[in-house]
Amino acid sequence: MTRLVLLDRDGTINEERNYLSSPDELELLPGAAEGIRRMRDLGLAVVVVTNQSGVGRGYFTAETVAAVHQRLGELLAAGGAKVDAFYVCPHTPDDDCDCRKPAPGLARQAAAEFQADLSRSFVVGDKVCDIELGQRAGATTILVRTGYGAEHEAFAGADYVVDGLPEAAQVIERLAAAECTDA
C-alpha cells in the first residue's frame, strides 16, 4: 500500500494569509519545495488537505481556490517539487460536514484514491486541527512551527514538532528508515 503525507496548505507550505483569495498573494515558505521534494524522493505520495471556509462564507469561489492551487503547483515545480493532489473542504464550521479538519473525511478520501494505509502515513500542519486530523486518521503527526505552529506547540499533542517542511521530511525519512530496519 502507498504511504501518504497529508500536508496542510496555509502556514505549512505557503505564508499564512487570512483567507488567501488570489494566486498573486501566494508565497512559499522557505524550504517548502525542498521538504516536499524530499518526501516524494522517499516514495511517498504528497497531498494537500485544506479547509477553505472562505468559499462557504462567500469570500471567494472554488475556482479561486483552484487558481491558487495551480499557482502553488507552479511555484513548487520551480523548486523541483510536486504535490500529487489537493483535497479541499469548502464548508464553514457550522456546516457539520465530515471533510472539515479535524474530521477525517478528506484523509479517508485521499487514502481511498491512493490506496494508502493511513496508519503508515503522516499528517503535517501548523494547527491543532491538523494534528487532530492525523490522530483521528491514525497517522503519525508532525506540527511545524511555521504559520500558527509556534502558538499551538504547547497544546497540539503532535508526535513530533519541527521548524518547517525540510525538518518534517527528515523526521519522515528517519522513521521510514527505522521501519525498514525493523522489518
Catalytic residues: 8, 10
What's the half-sphere exposure (Cβ side, CA atoms, 13 Å) at 150? Answer: 5
Beta bridge partners of 123: 6, 141
CA-to-CA distance for 131 and 101, rounded, in angstroms? 9
Cell 522557505 belongs to residue: 30
CA-to-CA distance for 37 and 5, rounded, in angstroms? 12
CA-to-CA distance for 4 and 120, rounded, in angstroms? 8
What's the half-sphere exposure (Cβ side, CA atoms, 13 Å) at 66? Answer: 3
